[in-house]
Amino acid sequence: MELSDVPYTRADFIETASGNKVSRHSVLCGSQNITLNGKTIIQRDCVIRGDLANIGIGRHCVIDRGTVLRPSFKKFSKGVSFYPLHIGDHVFIESDCVISAGDIGSYCYIGRGAVIGRRCVIRECSSIAEGCIVPPETVIPPHTYFDGSTMVSVGDMPECTKDLMI
């Protein structure tokens, strides 16, 4: 089905020169460390923790309501260090997700309520099902669809995922 146009109140969003639309009701901590590459939409009630580490988000991304982007950390004997979080282009993150991943490739889809564990690497054109819990330090290869709490590869994403995500 063709996606319907979602009307929004202009006053509720801050629109930057490069076309990023950030909701005034979202929480962006450490905004100097957050990079939005253009035409990205951040919906209300999102929490982006740029105060912990650098967060880079690509072009044409959509981060839906209530999602938390929180960079992961590693304990050392002398303290704690946070890993930067990179999100590619054309990534669609549904509502109420918790993202601690290290790297999300381009053209990915993350279903509603998914929890991505620390230092996960999600390659291009992959999808995470609704409610899926991705264990820490997981590498998801390209064109893969993961479902369930045990993260089993259920099938392959179609080869034209790039065109479907645009």
Partner 1 sequence: MTSFLPGLLKNNSVVNYRCSCSKLSPVYRQYFCRYCLCLRCWYCVSHEPDSFFCGNCLESMPSTEAKMKRNRCGNCLCCPVCIHTLSVRATSQTIRDATDPTKNITKKQYYLACAQCRWTSRDIGMADKPQSSGLWQDPENQHLARIEELSEYYQSVATAERLEKERKKVSVRRRSLTMYDRQTGRRRSSFMSSLSSLNLSLSPSVQPPVNAPAASSLADITPLPEEFYTVAMEIGDSTTLLQRHAAPERQPTSIRDLQPLHRQLVLRRNSRCRKCEHNLCKPDYVPSSSKFKIELLALHHVPEIKIVHGYNAIGYNTEERVVLSVTNPSDQSTSITLEPLSNRELNDVTATIIPPSLQLQIGAKDDMAEFDDVVDDEKAVKDDPDIVVFRKTNRIHVVTMVTAHKCTGDVIVALRISYNYTNTATALQNKGESPPAVSQLEQSLIINLGQVQV
User: d(Cα 6, Cα 148) in Å, to the nearest integer?
Assistant: 30
Phi-psi region of 119 (alpha: psi -120 to 50; beta: other; left: phi over 0): left
The answer to whether residue 131 forms part of the interface with partner 1 (CB under 8 A) is: no
Q: Are 52 and 73 within 8 A, CB to CB?
A: yes
Give the DSSP per-residue string, 131-152. T-EEPTT-EE-TTEEEETTTTE
Binds partner 1 (CB under 8 A): choice among 68, 84, 129, 131? 129
Q: 68 — phi, psi (to 5°)?
A: -115, 125
Binds partner 1 (CB under 8 A): choice among 47, 51, 92, 103? 92
The answer to whether residue 17 forms part of the interface with partner 1 (CB under 8 A) is: no
- Cα-to-chain-centroid distance, residue 120: 12
Contacting range for partner 1; rule: CB under 8 A; set: 9-17, 28-36, 96-104, 127-135: 127-135
Binds partner 1 (CB under 8 A): choice among 20, 43, 67, 72? 43
Contacting range for partner 1; rule: CB under 8 A; set: 9-17, 27-35, 47-55, 135-143: 135-143
The angle at the Cα of 18, spanning 15 to 19, to the nearest 5 degrees, equals 45
Binds partner 1 (CB under 8 A): choice among 24, 62, 70, 83? 62
| Number of residues in contact with partner 1 under rule CB under 8 A | 45
The answer to whether residue 78 forms part of the interface with partner 1 (CB under 8 A) is: no
> Collapsing DSSP states into helix, strand and coil, what is residue 106?
coil
| Interacting residue ranges for partner 1, rule: CB under 8 A | 1-4, 6, 43, 62, 64, 92, 94-95, 105-107, 109, 111, 117, 123-125, 127, 129-130, 135-145, 147, 150-151, 153, 158-164
